[in-house]
């Protein structure tokens, strides 16, 4: 039997200040980057037209850019996509309106205009029939704005639902701690998106929400053990129980994160260009989700319990009626080594 981290007794909670500082630093860097450069939103959110073209021969990017400028698509964004004959061209439709020939003034939101202009540019620089348009996406600005608010709503809604579910299944303190940890993951992921210059598309938002679910999953596994241990070891304080629970679930964490990281890395390396941003977010999300379950959720729970101490934290509500004979935890003079969780204690 191979046993990794069997009977581990690491004092995880002791490092909470270091962990807070590290994550705070990362977020600070992310926030500065976010303010300085902003997120790289896909055309789904900004509105615009994207065309992916496959060239049959190599053409320098500068030449493509020059030909796009000639047809009036100034400021179009050109990127290679996977191989050096595959390009993604992004253009805002409003900018292309000048190139449009439609007379009735309705061309402002017309993808056909951009498509035709790109076609002309490619005919010039690459030659007709020497390229294939493999993907076109165009989104009006109205739809983009709708999607932005929808994505934000989805993330907030998932927080609310989680809070309610955990409040019902566990206890509100657990729910709040889990939501704080998950919010940390969302913020950290956004910082990651900003620093990595990943394009924020609808699929990436989906990945962020999956990270939310995954991180929550992980937090719940640890909290479930906390709930159980709180009942089992009534004399130990929350600090010790949190450490114990994290250590007990450590083998599971290593195994599960190992298998998921194996699949996301194979997606990242082999899954192709289209889902690569998704795979990036997921891979990062597994790290931050694991980190936050241990170093954010547990310390925050400890802090919440100190701030608002209560019987409920011992899982009274989650387990229905408690045996009446159970004495209040803090009532007997506690052994000096293990003061009760209910009495405020100096931070360690």
Partner 1 sequence: MDKRIRNRLWIIAGLVGLSIVSLVPRNTKQRVIDPQTGRMKDTTVRRLPINLGLDLQGGIHLALEVDQTKGPVPDCADAIQRAERVVRTRIDEFGTTEPVVQIQGRCRLIVELAGEKDPARAKSVIQRTAFLEFRITDMKGQFKDALPQIDAALRKAGVKSTGAAAPSAVAQLFGGDTTKAARDSAAEANTPGVLSALLFQGQLPGEFLVEEQKWPLVDSLINRPDVRTAIPRGLELRWGAQTESRGARAYRALYAVESRPIITGEELVKAAARRDPVTNGSVVTFQLSHRGARKFSDETARHIGDYMAIILDSRVQGQPPVIRSQIGANGQIELGSKPLQEASDLALVLRAGALPAPLTIVEERTIGPSLGADSIHDGIRAGAVGVALVILIMVGYYRMAGALAVAALTLYCLFTLAGLALFGFTLTLPGMAGFVLSIGIAVDANVLIFERIREELVHGKSLRLAVDDGFLHAMNAIVDSNVSTVLTALILYAVGTGPVQGFAITLIIGIAASMISAIFVVKTLFLIWLNRRPDMVTLSI
Query: Please, which of residues 6-45 interact with partner 1 by CB under 8 A?
Result: 6
Paired tokens of 239: 């600090």
Q: Is 247 in the site for partner 1 (CB under 8 A)?
A: no
Site for partner 1 in 160-189 (CB under 8 A): 161-162, 165-166, 169-170
Give the per-residue contact string, 96-115, with partner 1 (x = CB under 8 A; - = no).
-----x-xxxx--xxxx---
Closest distance to partner 1 from the beta carbon of 152 (Å) = 10
Listed in sequence order, the residues at least 6 apart from 149 whose beta carbon sits closer than 8 Å to its beta carbon are none
Segment interacting with partner 1, rule: CB under 8 A, options 26-34, 59-67, 135-143, 338-346: 135-143
Closest distance to partner 1 from the beta carbon of 220 (Å) = 4
Residue 292 near residue 246, CB atoms below 8 Å: no
Segment interacting with partner 1, rule: CB under 8 A, options 15-23, 192-200, 259-267, 330-338: 259-267
Closest distance to partner 1 from the beta carbon of 161 (Å) = 5
Q: Is 119 in the site for partner 1 (CB under 8 A)?
A: no
Paired tokens of 124: 């010039």
Site for partner 1 in 196-215 (CB under 8 A): 202-203, 205-206, 209-210, 212-214
Residue 310 near residue 285, CB atoms below 8 Å: no
Residue 241 near residue 233, CB atoms below 8 Å: yes
Closest distance to partner 1 from the beta carbon of 137 (Å) = 5
Q: Is 276 helix (H, G, I), strand (E, B) or coil?
A: helix
d(C-alpha 50, C-alpha 44), whole Å: 9
Site for partner 1 in 289-348 (CB under 8 A): none
Q: Is 269 in the site for partner 1 (CB under 8 A)?
A: yes
Residue 301 near residue 177, CB atoms below 8 Å: yes
Q: Is 252 in the site for partner 1 (CB under 8 A)?
A: yes
∠ Cα 274 35 138 (to 5°): 35
Backbone φ, ψ for residue 105 (5° rounding): 70, 15
């Amino acid at each position: 039997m191979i046993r990794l981290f069997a009977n581990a007794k690491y004092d995880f909670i002791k490092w909470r200040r270091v962990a807070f500082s590290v994550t705070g630093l990362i977020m600070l860097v992310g926030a500065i980057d976010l303010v300085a450069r902003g997120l790289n939103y896909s055309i789904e959110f900004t509105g615009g037209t994207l065309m992916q073209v496959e060239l049959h021969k190599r053409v320098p990017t500068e030449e493509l850019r020059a030909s796009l400028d000639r047809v009036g698509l100034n400021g179009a964004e050109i990127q290679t996509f996977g191989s050096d004959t595959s390009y993604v061209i992004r253009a805002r439709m409003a900018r292309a309106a000048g190139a449009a020939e439609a007379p009735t003034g309705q061309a402002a939101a017309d993808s056909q205009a951009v498509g035709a202009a790109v076609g002309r540019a490619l005919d010039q620089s690459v030659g007709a029939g020497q390229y294939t348009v493999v993907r076109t996406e165009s989104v009006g600005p109205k739809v983009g704005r709708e999607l932005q608010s929808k994505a934000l709503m989805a993330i907030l809604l998932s927080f609310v639902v989680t809070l309610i579910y955990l409040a019902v299944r566990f206890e509100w303190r657990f729910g709040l701690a889990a939501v704080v940890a998950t919010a940390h993951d969302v913020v950290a992921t956004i910082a990651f998106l900003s620093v990595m210059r990943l394009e924020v598309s609808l699929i990436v938002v989906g990945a962020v929400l999956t990270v939310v679910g995954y991180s929550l999953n992980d937090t719940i596994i640890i909290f479930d053990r906390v709930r159980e241990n709180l009942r089992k070891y009534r004399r130990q304080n929350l600090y010790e129980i949190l450490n114990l629970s994290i250590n007990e679930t450590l083998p599971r964490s290593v195994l599960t994160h190992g298998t998921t990281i194996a699949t996301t890395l194979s997606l990242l390396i082999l899954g192709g260009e289209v889902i690569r941003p998704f795979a990036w977010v997921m891979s990062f999300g597994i790290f931050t989700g694991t980190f936050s379950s241990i170093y954010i959720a547990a310390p925050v729970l400890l802090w919440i319990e100190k701030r608002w101490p209560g019987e409920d934290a011992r899982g009274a509500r989650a387990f229905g009626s408690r045996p009446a004979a159970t004495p209040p935890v803090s009532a007997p003079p506690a052994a000096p080594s293990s003061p009760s969780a209910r009495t405020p204690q100096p931070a360690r």
